[in-house]
Amino acid sequence: MWWLVRIVTWCYGRRDESPRISESYKPCYAQPIWLCSLSRCIFMRLGLISDTHDRIPMIEKAVEIFNGESLAAVLHCGDFVSPFSMIPFQRLQSPFYAVFGNNDGERSGLTQFFKVNGWTLNERPWTLELDGRRVAMLHEPANMDTYILNGGAELIVFGHTHEKHFQKSNGVMVINPGEGCGWVKGTASMAIVDLEKKENRFINL
């Protein structure tokens, strides 16, 4: 039974490591051991949020929900606005990837905050690869048809409109998690997407 002890120790001992882009191994993030393979987690579940616009209470709620979902990563599609609004995200227990929005004026401060915390922030649009799966991150939904047809991604995430959106087109999931702030539409929201099951779930904050 020594080999079983080694497997359990190996899987759980690495679950706090952040997955790196294009790596074949991704940590299990507290999934039960029977949901893990020896080289990668079975499920790829991502947290999605956008347009948080400095609304700290809603960000705090979102982080609490994200931490209870055993996610491979959290993606933010821009419009944080000010660096101080990033403070609640420091409690995230998942890797954090984001793109700039059109209202992110304090770019140097945001960039530094991401760097210090070991997160990833890029210009939009940006395509990343997680566990061999391509994900396109936008802020504005411009040229969406081009991304669906030629982008090579199985998930496209965007924001800007402050409206929830979910569609499947040509095998590609396209999602806007809605506004994380709730300033414009009156309801703050986020989303959880399962790339294995091709399912999306909106959550009101």
Q: Which amino acid is at 100?
A: F
Asked if residue 182 has pLDDT above 70, the reply is: yes
Residue extents of the structural domains in the chain: 1-14+23-42, 43-204
pLDDT in tens, 7-43: 333 333 333 333 333 333 233 344 444 444 433 444 5
Percent of the chain with pLDDT over 70: 79
- For residues 54-80, average pLDDT: 96
Instruction: Give the full edge-to-edge strand order of the sheet including 73-76.
Output: 120-122, 96-99, 73-76, 45-49, 189-194, 199-204
Q: Average model confidence (pLDDT) for the chain?
A: 82
Tens digits of per-residue pLDDT, 97-149?
999 999 998 999 999 999 999 999 999 999 999 988 999 999 999 888 887 88
Strands (E), the chain: 45-49, 73-76, 96-99, 120-122, 126-130, 133-137, 155-157, 164-169, 172-177, 189-194, 199-204
Does the predicted model carry a pTM greater than 0.95? no
Domain 43-204: top CATH class: alpha beta
